Amino acid sequence: MLRAYRFIVDLFTQRHGIVAFVFFLVLGLLMRQAPVPIRESVVSTALSSLYFPAQRIVSAMGHYKSIAQENEQLKEENARLRQETFHAREGLQELARLHTLVRFDDKWDYPIVTARVVGHNPGRFLTTMVINRGVEHGVKENMPVFSMNGLVGKISKSTTSHSRVQLLVDPNLKLSVMDRRTRVVGFLESMDGRRLTAMIPTHAGVHAGDTLVTSGLGGIFPKGIPVGTVKEIRKSDLDVMCQMDVNPFQEFSILEEVFVMEKEPDWIVKELLDE
């Protein structure tokens, strides 16, 4: 078909008018005397030759459109698989974290409620966060909150299904701590909502690198929950006390899951708090 088409085109493009005229004259006479099947075959062949370029173009456009659609489908499938892989990886990481958290159930004499962090305070410094557990889950005010790394803070407000956690770096939270090595007791607080400082008697012999844990005094936090390590020791305004910078074990900005210890304040402390 292609050769016949090229032949016809060459007849006209090369200005062989006479040859073309004679060719078509002879072809017409032969077609007139030829049987009907032969004429139909010749006409069909001629039309196919004329339409062949257009058919090739239409076919190429259809093929291109099919490839484009297939490419878009492959892109969508790739995006979906990547999203599923991401969710699966996140699920495995969450499962590993929760599995580690569950081990804390055996360390304390109090029931433990696992909670997810669902919000942070909108202020300049991170001093509070919101968890997805409340009164209907057994969570009440002043219950200790901690993670697999250490103490986080305490419940400051509890609603039906959510609670607010007051973090260690909140300047309004004061905590009694104990040096694990020397067993001396002091108190820990944050002055600016970012850094933690502790005050411990000067004669205690506390060194940089010592670990601080909850002392159990005050009636809210049980004894022995890790708080942080002593970073630097310096003199305070009181000669009998030294001031220490403390690095908390927990990075509050990356918390995703926490534990709430179902421990209510001791009755003496609770009575004082209610006054």
113-274: CATH topology: Thrombin, subunit H (2.40.10)
Q: How far is CA 12 from CA 5, 20, 27, 30, 31, in A?
A: 11, 7, 16, 21, 21
Buried b / exposed e over 82-115, threshold 16 CB at 10 Å, is eeeeeeeeeeeeeeeeeeebeebeeebeeebbbb
Distance CA(102)–CA(51), nearest Å, equals 76
Could you tell me which of 175, 178, 236 has the C-alpha nearest to residue 204?
A: 178
Contact 128, 120 (CB under 8 A): yes
Q: How confident is the model at residue 153 (pLDDT cuts 50, 70, 90)?
A: very high
Q: What does the domain layout of the chain look like in residue ranges?
A: 2-62, 113-274
Q: How many CB atoms lie within 10 A of CB 238?
A: 11
For the stretch 71-108, pLDDT in tens is 777 777 776 666 666 556 656 666 665 565 555 555 66
Higher pLDDT, 260 or 23: 260
Mean pLDDT value of segment 123-147: 90
Buried b / exposed e over 187-212, threshold 16 CB at 10 Å, is bbbbeeeeebbbebeeebebeeebbb
